Amino acid sequence: MVSPDATPRPIDHVLRGQPHAPALIDREGVVDYAAAEDAVARLAGWLAGLGLAAGARVATWLPKTRVACWMPLATARAGLVHVPVNPVLRRAQVAHILADSGAALLLTQDARAATLAAGDVPDGCRLVTDAGAGDALPRSNADPEALAALLYTSGSTGRPKGVMLSHANLWLGAISVADYLAITPDDRVLAVLPLGFDYGQNQLLSTWAAGAAVAPLDYLTPRDVVKAVARVGATTLAGVPPLWTQLLESDWPDAMAGQLRRLTNSGGALTPTMVRALRARFPAARLFPMYGLTEAFRSTYLDPDLVDAHPDSIGRAVPFAEVLVVRPDGALAAAGEPGELVHAGPLVAHGYWRDAERTALRFRPAPAGSRYGGTAVWSGDTVVADGDGLLRFVGRDDEMIKSAGHRISPQEVEEAATAGTETAEAVAVGVPDARLGQAIVLVARGAAPSETALRERLKRELPAYMQPVRIEWRAELPRNANGKLDRAAIAAAVREAKA
């Protein structure tokens, strides 16, 4: 069991398993902890031999190769800053990240490099398509507060921002998750989330902090995930709600579904309907709904023992986090009173890279009453706590629909829409309306013949002011680079069509 009070260390110390225990499993075979440590040390030695300045940014644009898995540790050991780029991004997005981060090196593959246009790789940035191995470097003695990584947000609410993460942020995030998930050395974690996504990277770090084995997987279809669970003997699977929807629509042999010990969710709230479906499909698995944001990594999780009684809750603060619910006047909200979720403590990132203006908007002094004080992340998300301190997500301030004098959470409309059999995915969008201020348009995955049944059910389950004025049907809903529903793109398309 991982100790939750661990002192922060340089992140390259996170390989903590027994030397001959499996650390990584892929189609090439099994890498034990001794071999993983050697691979990280030699990759760090290669990086150190390139003559880059201390603190230089090193970008990786790779699928889940072994090198991609070692790089978060190797760059830190070499005194550099890692910038993982999601492999599904295209050249314009990659060019923005390289320019914004001031990357001195881009490590990618020949096929990806061939898609880049003139000017995409800035002057002073070296492009390399084959990592080498140098003299092994010993574990670093870096200041835990030193910068270790820049993680770029998906850009669904604006231009992608580089979130500055220290060794301490990464270390304590790994220890926190390994602790509350109770990962043990005999666990095998199937890593399906992108490594450029904060929780995707944490799949590696928290697994290694617990001395367990991680199995990185790039998948094309949900069936690939099902088969990988069987192939590697996975006990743990992390996902985002759209992936869970796809996996629930896949065939799972009982024995395969039964071997999963824990399921974890982030990147969007699970609906009560989805919670019930996951509990039915994977009866032996402990389900961990979680809430987080890249600027503070992870804020809350719900104890699996409480999931059935509180399927709409995001739980309580994770280890090393302080979560407060704050009213608009800055006072702490009472139980049952909605307010902004504010996260304080050592998981809070160091701001946005070279962006003081946006940093000042999100990273502000903690409210009075915080036990940590210092800088906190003001999430912009509205939550409410019940009398037992369990939190429920209401919605993002910039997504709330203001209709006929009511503030409506899109999530509440979406949960009602997906509670039946008519559609498995839906997004509620507010559009300008001369009479109401905003009217609700529901964009749903499926076909129009389902509309009559859906409308009849919504009339029974939602008040009149929450009824969609229009339902638009799509064969598929767009997703962003991290696999989440691309709410910004869906809303833009709806509003453009109305205009």
pLDDT of residue 204: 97
Instruction: Give the CATH number, domain containing residue 486.
Output: 3.30.300.30
> Cα 344 to chain center, whole Å?
19
Q: Is the dihedral of CA 110, 111, 112, 118 positive or negative?
A: positive
Average pLDDT over every residue of 346-369: 95
Neighbours of 40 (CB within 10 A): 25
Q: Is pLDDT of 4 > 90?
A: no
pLDDT at 157: 41
CATH of the domain at 257: 3.40.50.12780
Looking at the fold, whether 250 and 122 belong to one and the same domain comes out as: yes
**Predicted local confidence at residue 1, as pLDDT:** 52
Same domain? For 407 and 432 the reply is: yes
What's the per-residue H, E or C state across the chain? CCCCCCCCCCHHHCCCCCCCCEEEEECCEEEEHHHHHHHHHHHHHHHHCCCCCCCCEEEEECCCCHHHHHHHHHHHHCCCEEEEECCCCCHHHHHHHHHHHCCCEEECCHHHHCCCCCCCCCCCCEEECCCCCCCCCCCCCCCCCCEEEEEECCCCCCCCCEEEEEHHHHHHHHHHHHHHCCCCCCCEEEECCCCCCHHHHHHHHHHHHCCCEEEECCCCCHHHHHHHHHHHCCCEEEECHHHHHHHHCCCCCHHHHHCCCEEEECCCCCCHHHHHHHHHHCCCCEEEEEECCCCCCCCEECCHHHCCCCCCEEEEECCCCEEEEECCCCCECCCCCCEEEEEECCCCCCCECCCHHHHHHHEEECCCCCCCCCEEEEEEEEEEECCCCCEEEEEECCCCEEECCEEECHHHHHHHHCCCCCCCCEEEEEEEECCCEEEEEEEEECCHHHHHHHHHHHHHHCCHHHCCCEEEEECCCCECCCCCECHHHHHHHHHHHHC
One domain, residues 264 and 412: no
Instruction: Identify whether 480 is part of a domain.
Output: yes
Residue 491 lies in a domain: yes
- The proportion of the chain whose per-residue pLDDT surpasses 90, expressed as a percent, equals 73
276-332 residue pLDDT tens: 999 999 999 999 999 988 899 899 999 999 999 999 899 999 999 999 999 999 999
196 and 103, same structural domain?
yes
* Average pLDDT of the segment spanning 95-101: 95
Q: Enter the tokens of residue 244.
A: 């869970």
d(CA 121, CA 113): 10
Higher pLDDT, 499 or 157: 499
The closest of 284, 348, 295 to 322, measured between CA atoms, is 348
> Is 2 part of any domain?
no
Confidence of residue 361 (pLDDT cuts 50, 70, 90): very high
444 and 301 inside one domain: no
Local confidence band at 5 (pLDDT 50, 70, 90 cut-offs): low
Question: 485 with 374, same domain?
Answer: no
Q: Are residues 230 and 348 in the same domain?
A: yes
Query: Is residue 165 over pLDDT 50?
Result: yes
Task: Calculate mean pLDDT across residues 247-253.
Answer: 91
pLDDT band at 266 (very low <50, low <70, confident <90, very high): confident
Q: Sorting pLDDT into bands at 50, 70 and 90, what band is 93?
A: confident
Q: Are residues 346 and 410 in the same domain?
A: no
Of 331, 362, 385, the domain-final residue: 385
Residue 156 pLDDT > 60: no
Mean pLDDT of 218-224: 91
pLDDT at position 159: 63
Shared-domain flag, residues 291 and 374: yes
Name the domain boundary from 339, 363, 385.
385
In percent, how much of the chain has pLDDT > 70?
96
Residue 2 has pLDDT above 70, yes or no: no
The total number of structural domains that make up the chain: 2
Domain assignment of residue 102, given as a range:
11-385
User: 76-90, 128-142, 221-235, 475-489 — which is least confidently predicted?
Assistant: 475-489
Record the pTM.
0.84
Q: What pLDDT is attached to residue 409?
A: 77
pLDDT at 398: 67
